[in-house]
């Protein structure tokens, strides 16, 4: 297993002249596990403990007192960053970020990477809004297998009994009701105006068969009546013919008509319901499905359609309401619905505790209370710039936490009927990191003969491996423990030469692996102030911090161990982190790269995605 050697709590075993701990991942090779899910990412698990900073209460007074008493370390950490794989940080279009004409890595990118690892190493908090984006995820499980399909059916369907040719028949119907989503001019409040609706089959040669999937036809007059109706087109569905046993396309559209625009009958839609819907249905994201915003009438057209001057947005929809309030809405009868639990509901209360200031709060800053004491400069390119050619990339897919079998902790032997989804009691997997994939200059490129070209895709021009950048982290008035914690991020690479980090875009397609070498420099401000007017003494007060490195690391590790009740559990976390950062796993490209690919969707022989295969721990992919 990767990273199975640990330091003692208060000692720095074999730090000098003994390299038996270096390169301890060299024999790692991928394990073939048929049932395992595979992905270019994995998770470093959480423990339900937070190591607090060195203040007793979260207040400005306590923070200032701590800094005055213990904040004696001021200086900087010099960084040398060498790309191990192609590297891309977005700048002007397809070019690498280079505002001054020469490539550079923004300090903000380095800060984000360092802070993320810092939170793991220091057993930091995980608070909604700060460390994670808390929201209600959406899903649609109309045809899903197992407990998730049952869950969707229970929320969105109901059985009804009716008479057909003199026989009693029970059939499942959608609970969703037809209506029109509106927004009021001025206040911006949303309501649903109830209406009537009906499912209609497309006739042969029907003009509606040419309607675009996910579209609305505005409005159509029903033949031989004065009724105008809107037609909702969701596309074809597949059903099994009971007589032939064959699967056939079933074309149905839904009409919504006779809306009730009266103010007293409008059903309120809470702002958080609208916000959650917008988060799940970005209007400009074609990969995310149908957005009602793209189908709506707005401003004067909305007022004209509704004959209500107070309405500036209207679109036909289906919805469910409880106690006179809309709970969710969507396009068609079987739309995506939000889970009742949010992402943050799956995080331990201890990790969300606002009354604790962790070490990350102490040095990176705590919102509205105090600022940061660490400052990240841009890393400037050094030497000859080595570029790769411009090319389209494999699609840079956004995270899909709706795949609960990957993002939530699951029992190792869970099946389709026992998998935990987002409305059940389950913990999130932890910090998401991307595997290294080796130095393959062409792997990231789109193959137009095999891969689908998506509208809006733009080419990029990454830098090749072996480009060097030099940057600096400045720090001010840190305690020994705080500085030791910051150094611990870079000490990972000092203790194992195979440890590399990830920066920039395209991590999922193999970009962004970097090697980082760090050196510490301390400043004696009193000595520097005493010589500030000496023409030859401007550098006075600078000290070689390398001599203090081991002492600071040991001090931090002792502090962490002292404040952890589950030290052994944390050491397992640290082991999984080292596994995710291990460059040596990429040596056997033929075996490793297939393990880092997204699972195929719709493959006739590989059903892992369809069957919701579980993502194992990082160490379980390594032997």
Q: Residue 172: beta bridge partners?
A: 159
Percent of the chain's residues with pLDDT above 70? 82
Spell out the domain ranges in the chain. 41-135+343-621, 176-338
Show the tokens assigned to 335.
């739309």
- pLDDT (0 to 100) of residue 283: 59
Mean pLDDT value across the chain: 85
Q: Which residue has the higher pLDDT, 518 or 94?
A: 518
- pLDDT (0 to 100) of residue 414: 87
Residue entry with tokens 């889970």 = 339
Q: Is residue 467 scored above 90 in pLDDT?
A: yes
Q: What confidence tier does 495 reach under pLDDT thresholds 50, 70, 90?
A: very high
Residue entry with tokens 């007589």 = 243
- pLDDT (0 to 100) of residue 105: 98
Write out 352-383 in H/E/C secondary structure: HCCCCCEHHHHHHCECCCECCCEEECCEEEEC
Residue entry with tokens 């068609």 = 332
Averaged pLDDT, 78-92: 93
- pLDDT (0 to 100) of residue 593: 87
Q: Is residue 279 scored above 60 in pLDDT?
A: yes
- pLDDT (0 to 100) of residue 236: 59
Distances (CA, A) of 595 to 1, 31, 34, 41, 575: 17, 9, 11, 10, 20
All residues at 6 or more sequence positions from 141 whose CB lies less than 8 Å from its CB, including other chains? 148, 149, 151, 152, 153
Averaged pLDDT, 521-537: 64
- pLDDT (0 to 100) of residue 5: 36
- pLDDT (0 to 100) of residue 206: 55
Show the tokens assigned to 333.
């009868």
- pLDDT (0 to 100) of residue 594: 85
Q: Is residue 554 scored above 80 in pLDDT?
A: yes
Residue 110's nearest CA partner among 465, 384, 490 is 490
- pLDDT (0 to 100) of residue 527: 63
Rg over alpha carbons for the chain, rounded to the nearest Å, is 29
Which 8-state DSSP code applies to residue 530? H
Whole-number Å distance between alpha carbons of 107 and 187: 41
Q: Which residue has the higher pLDDT, 149 or 299?
A: 299
For the stretch 245-278, pLDDT in tens is 554 555 667 889 999 999 999 999 999 999 999 9
Alpha-carbon torsion angle 110, 111, 112, 116, nearest 10? 110
Which 8-state DSSP code applies to residue 53? -
Q: What confidence tier does 381 reach under pLDDT thresholds 50, 70, 90?
A: very high
Q: What confidence tier does 172 reach under pLDDT thresholds 50, 70, 90?
A: confident
Q: What confidence tier does 243 reach under pLDDT thresholds 50, 70, 90?
A: low
Q: Which residue has the higher pLDDT, 434 or 282?
A: 434
Q: Residue 167: beta bridge partners?
A: 164
CB atoms within 10 A of CB 69: 10
Whole-number Å distance between alpha carbons of 48 and 570: 10
Whole-number Å distance between alpha carbons of 206 and 200: 12
Averaged pLDDT, 101-127: 97
Q: Is residue 43 scored above 50 in pLDDT?
A: yes
Q: Which residues of 401-434 are buried (b: 16+ CB within 10 A; e: fewer)?
A: bbbbbbbbbbeeeeeeeebbbbbeebebbbbbbb
Q: Is residue 596 scored above 50 in pLDDT?
A: yes
Q: Please check whether residue 607 is in contact with residue 563, taking contact to mean a CB–CB distance below 8 angstroms.
A: no
Q: What confidence tier does 518 reach under pLDDT thresholds 50, 70, 90?
A: very high
Would you list the DSSP string of 21-43? Answer: TTTTTTT--B---TT----SEEE
- pLDDT (0 to 100) of residue 260: 95
- pLDDT (0 to 100) of residue 115: 98
- pLDDT (0 to 100) of residue 394: 78
Q: Is residue 546 scored above 60 in pLDDT?
A: yes
Using N-to-C axis directions, what is the helix angle for 480-495 and 567-581, rounded to 10°?
Answer: 50
Q: What confidence tier does 218 reach under pLDDT thresholds 50, 70, 90?
A: confident
Q: Please check whether residue 56 is in contact with residue 444, taking contact to mean a CB–CB distance below 8 angstroms.
A: no
**Residues 30, 32, 570, CA angle at the centre, nearest 5°?**
55
Collapsed DSSP state (helix, strand, coil) of residue 91 = strand
Whole-number Å distance between alpha carbons of 591 and 582: 16
Whole-number Å distance between alpha carbons of 229 and 224: 13
Averaged pLDDT, 514-542: 70
Q: Please check whether residue 579 is in contact with residue 571, taking contact to mean a CB–CB distance below 8 angstroms.
A: no
Bridge pairing between strands 297-298 and 73-83: unpaired
Which 8-state DSSP code applies to residue 259? -
Residue 294's nearest CA partner among 338, 329, 331, 336 is 331
Q: Which residue has the higher pLDDT, 85 or 210?
A: 85
Q: Please check whether residue 342 is in contact with residue 273, taking contact to mean a CB–CB distance below 8 angstroms.
A: no
In Å, how far from its chain's centre is CA 523?
39
- pLDDT (0 to 100) of residue 147: 85
- pLDDT (0 to 100) of residue 496: 96
Distances (CA, A) of 596 to 403, 437, 546: 17, 7, 37
- Least confident stretch, 27-41, 55-69, 424-438: 27-41
Q: Is residue 551 scored above 80 in pLDDT?
A: yes
In Å, how far from its chain's centre is CA 488?
25
Q: Please check whether residue 122 is in contact with residue 47, taking contact to mean a CB–CB distance below 8 angstroms.
A: no
């Amino acid at each position: 297993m990767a990273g199975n050697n640990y330091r003692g709590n208060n000692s720095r075993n074999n730090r000098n002249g003994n390299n038996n701990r270096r390169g301890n991942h060299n024999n790692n090779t991928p394990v073939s596990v048929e049932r395992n899910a595979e992905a270019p990412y994995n998770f470093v698990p959480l423990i339900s403990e937070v190591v607090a900073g060195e203040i007793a209460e979260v207040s400005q007074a306590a923070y200032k007192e701590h800094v005055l008493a213990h904040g004696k370390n001021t200086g900087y950490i010099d960084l040398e960053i060498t790309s191990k794989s192609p590297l891309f940080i977005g700048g002007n279009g397809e070019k690498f970020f280079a505002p001054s004409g020469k490539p550079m890595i923004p300090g903000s990118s380095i800060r984000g990477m360092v802070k993320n690892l810092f939170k793991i190493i220091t057993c930091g908090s995980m608070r909604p809004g700060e460390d994670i984006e808390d929201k209600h995820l959406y899903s649609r499980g109309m045809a899903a297998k197992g407990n998730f399909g049952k869950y969707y059916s229970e929320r969105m369907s109901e059985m009804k009994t009716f008479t057909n040719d003199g026989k009693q028949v029970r059939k499942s119907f959608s609970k969703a009701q037809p209506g029109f989503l509106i927004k009021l001019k001025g206040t911006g409040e949303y309501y649903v105006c109830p209406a009537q609706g009906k499912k209609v089959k497309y006739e042969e040669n029907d003009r509606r068969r040419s309607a675009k999937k996910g579209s609305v036809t505005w409005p159509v007059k029903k033949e031989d009546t004065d009724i105008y109706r809107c037609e909702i087109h969701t596309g074809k569905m597949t059903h099994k013919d009971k007589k032939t046993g064959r699967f056939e396309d079933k074309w149905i559209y839904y009409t919504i008509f006779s809306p009730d625009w009266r103010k007293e009958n409008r059903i309120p839609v809470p702002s958080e319901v609208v916000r959650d819907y917008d988060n799940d249905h970005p209007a400009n994201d074609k990969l995310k499905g149908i957005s009602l915003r793209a189908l709506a009438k707005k401003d004067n057209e909305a007022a004209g359609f509704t004959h209500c001057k107070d309405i500036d947005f209207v679109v036909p929809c289906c919805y469910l309401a409880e106690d006179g309030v809309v709970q969710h809405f969507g396009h068609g009868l079987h739309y995506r619905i939000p889970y009742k639990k949010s992402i943050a509901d799956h995080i331990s209360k201890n990790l969300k505790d606002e009354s604790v200031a962790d070490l990350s709060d102490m040095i990176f800053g705590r919102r509205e209370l105090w600022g940061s004491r660490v400052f990240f400069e841009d890393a400037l390119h050094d030497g000859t710039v080595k570029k790769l050619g411009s090319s389209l990339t494999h699609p840079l897919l956004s995270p899909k936490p709706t795949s609960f079998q990957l993002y939530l902790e699951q029992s190792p032997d869970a099946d389709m009927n026992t998998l935990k989804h987002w409305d059940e009691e389950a913990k999130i997997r932890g910090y998401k990191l991307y595997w290294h994939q080796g130095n393959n200059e062409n792997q990231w490129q789109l193959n137009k003969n095999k891969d689908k070209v998506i509208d809006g895709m733009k080419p990029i021009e990454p830098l090749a491996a072996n480009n060097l950048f030099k940057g600096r982290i400045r720090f001010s008035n840190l305690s020994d423990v705080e500085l030791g914690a910051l150094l611990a991020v870079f000490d990972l690479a000092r203790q194992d030469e195979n440890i590399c980090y990830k920066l920039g875009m395209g991590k999922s397609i193999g970009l962004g692996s970097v090697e980082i070498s760090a050196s510490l420099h301390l400043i004696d401000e009193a000595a520097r102030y005493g010589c500030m007017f000496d023409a030859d003494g401007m550098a006075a007060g600078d000290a070689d911090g390398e001599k203090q490195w081991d002492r600071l690391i040991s001090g931090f590790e002792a502090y962490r161990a002292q404040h952890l009740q589950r030290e052994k559990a944390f050491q397992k976390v640290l082991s999984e982190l080292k596994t995710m950062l291990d460059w040596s796993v990429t040596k056997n490209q033929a075996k490793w790269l297939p393990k880092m690919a997204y699972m195929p969707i719709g493959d006739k022989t590989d059903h892992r995605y369809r069957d919701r295969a579980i993502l194992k721990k990082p160490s379980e992919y390594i032997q």
